[in-house]
């Protein structure tokens, strides 16, 4: 080896060492963030740039979904996670630190061509629970409601909506169409005029193919979220791991969200800095109680009960419930209802007049007064007339939900009695609408 070559080799080796050291320094000065795709694209890109411009290093964004972010922070492959929900109380979550940094809104979305103008909280609850299946039942056109959801039970957007509507985030819902994250869910609904799902207000901004449905007459705007009049507002969290080697640096980024450059970036995307939402924090508990009362739900204890029509995957992931169990539960509820009806009838005495009769399923004895409007449907009710019609022939426009309502039964009971695998009905199809 010549002297000249040896010198060149040494210089090259020194250069490589300096380059490697510089790369390592840059890598050690960077942070990895993982979380919801919509939040990353709408908010974190700009906040990350502000962090870098302030001289703190680089933020590497890995957008996917909330659950993957929490997993990555827990196992050390990410330093920060973006979450649209607080800790769920699991062992994994209890090892992490959830810091609220902003406020945003959940939005119930459909395709822009869908003519629906508004939904109530009760209607949204019943759609997700499987009691409402057709847009015509909520003032829309006669078409099935195709409910979309994110498959992961730990998804922040889904978890937060279910917490508000059902009192707990792990409530299974009647959503047969599942996606890996909210971005894919939004893409699916954009192609389907009958689709419905939940997303973040920040995630759909500027998308002309999607429409955010007003709730209780209130549009999901930044102003309505800020004053609390739009009911589906939620805090957004940054999640860190106190056992991480970059805990201090990650916490610096959390504190950076309180600075004016970061707050300005949040506001530009319709996100409210957490400190600006002190009113929302103060009203949060009362707001949740009000919503549960409005939809007729309560915070139950124990294992969540699957919604009628909830997918097997959702039940298996959260609360394993076989179809046989669902049918048995429906039968038990029916027996309880009949026992309650019989008990009420036993306590009835005296005479009744000028009563509008709408059904005779549990009637006995004789009735001599029937309203003019409904009299043509009944005739005279005798002691033996205790058996109501047990079948029904499907006509155009019928849905499983409307038939169940008309015959005072549950959708789950109709499915069980007729061994239905879906809610699709055929005109002329004969359904069993009574246990007997």
Residue 394 has pLDDT above 80, yes or no: yes
Quick one: pLDDT at residue 310? 55
Instruction: Give the residue-averaged pLDDT of 9-23.
Output: 37
Q: Which is the CATH superfamily of the domain at 323-432?
A: LysM domain (3.10.350.10)
| Sequence-distant (≥ 6) Cβ neighbours of residue 243 within 8 angstroms | 95
Q: What is the pLDDT of residues 209-236, one digit of tens each?
A: 999 999 999 999 999 999 999 999 999 9
pLDDT of 10 higher than 90 = no
| pLDDT of 420 strictly over 90 | no
CATH 3.40.640.10 assigned to 104-236+276-318 = no
Q: Is the pLDDT of residue 4 over 50?
A: no
pLDDT digits (tens, 9 = 90+) for 308-322: 655 433 333 333 333
pLDDT over 80 (residue 266) = yes
Mean pLDDT, the chain, rounded, equals 77
pLDDT computed for residue 430 by the predictor: 86
- Residue 234: which of 207, 202, 196 has the closest Cα? 202
**362-375 pLDDT, tens digit each:** 333 333 333 334 43
DSSP track, 203-248 = HHTT-TTEEEPPBTTB---HHHHHTT-SS-EEEEEEEE-TTSTTHH
Q: How far apart are CA 309 and CA 328, in angstroms?
A: 15
* Beta strand 233-240 pairing with 97-111: antiparallel
Instruction: Provide CATH 3.10.350.10 ranges for the chain.
Output: 323-432
Q: Which residues pair with 394 in a beta bridge?
A: none
Phi, psi dihedral angles at 319 (to 5 degrees): -140, 90
Q: Within 10 A of 16 (CB to CB), how many other CB atoms are there?
A: 10
Better pLDDT: 332 or 160: 160
Architecture of domain 29-103+237-265: 3-Layer(aba) Sandwich (3.40)
Please check the confidence at residue 411 and state whether its pLDDT lies above 50: yes
Q: 59-64 and 31-36 as β-strands: parallel, antiparallel, unpaired?
A: parallel
Sign of torsion, CA 408 411 417 418? positive
Pinpoint the residues of the chain covered by CATH 3.40.190.10: 29-103+237-265, 104-236+276-318
pLDDT band at 286 (very low <50, low <70, confident <90, very high): very high
């Amino acid at each position: 080896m010549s002297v000249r070559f040896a010198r060149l080799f040494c210089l090259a080796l020194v250069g490589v060492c300096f380059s490697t050291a510089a790369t390592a320094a840059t890598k050690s000065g960077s942070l990895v963030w993982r979380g919801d795709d919509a939040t990353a694209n709408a908010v974190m890109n700009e906040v990350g740039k502000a962090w870098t411009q302030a001289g703190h290093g680089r933020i590497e964004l890995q957008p996917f979904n909330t659950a993957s972010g929490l997993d990555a922070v827990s196992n050390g492959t990410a330093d920060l996670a973006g979450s649209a929900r607080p800790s769920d109380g699991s062992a994994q979550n209890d090892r992490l630190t959830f810091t609220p940094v902003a406020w945003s809104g959940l939005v119930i979305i459909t395709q822009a061509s869908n003519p629906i103008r508004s939904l109530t909280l009760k209607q949204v609850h019943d759609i997700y629970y499987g009691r409402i299946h057709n847009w015509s039942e909520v003032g829309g056109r006669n078409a099935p409601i195709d409910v979309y959801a994110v498959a992961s039970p730990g998804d922040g957007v889904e978890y937060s909506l279910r917490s508000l509507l059902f009192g707990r985030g792990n409530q299974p819902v009647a959503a047969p169409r599942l996606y890996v994250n909210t971005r894919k869910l939004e893409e699916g609904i954009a192609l389907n005029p009958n689709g419905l799902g939940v997303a973040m207000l920040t995630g759909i901004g500027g998308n002309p193919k999607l429409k955010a449905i007003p709730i209780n007459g209130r549009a999901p705007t930044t102003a309505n979220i800020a004053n609390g009049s739009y009911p589906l507002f939620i805090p957004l969290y940054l999640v860190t791991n106190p056992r991480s080697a970059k805990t201090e640096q990650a916490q610096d980024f959390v504190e950076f969200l309180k600075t004016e450059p970061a707050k300005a970036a949040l506001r530009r995307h319709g996100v409210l800095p957490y400190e600006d939402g002190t009113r929302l924090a103060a009203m949060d508990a009362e707001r949740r109680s009000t919503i549960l009362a409005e939809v007729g739900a309560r915070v139950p204890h124990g294992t969540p009960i699957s919604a009628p029509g909830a997918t097997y995957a959702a039940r298996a992931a959260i609360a394993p419930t076989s179809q046989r169990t669902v049918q048995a539960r429906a039968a038990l509820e029916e027996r309880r209802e009949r026992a309650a009806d019989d008990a009420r009838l036993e306590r009835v005495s005296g005479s009744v007049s000028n009563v509008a009769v709408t059904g005779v399923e549990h009637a006995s004895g004789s009735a001599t007064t029937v309203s003019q409007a409904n009299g043509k449907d009944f005739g005279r009710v005798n002691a033996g007339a205790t058996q109501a019609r047990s079948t029904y022939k499907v006509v155009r426009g019928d849905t499983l939900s409307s038939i169940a309502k008309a015959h005072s039964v549950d959708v789950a009971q109709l499915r069980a009695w007729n061994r239905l695998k879906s809610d699709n009905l055929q005109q002329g199809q004969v359904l069993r609408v009574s246990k007997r």
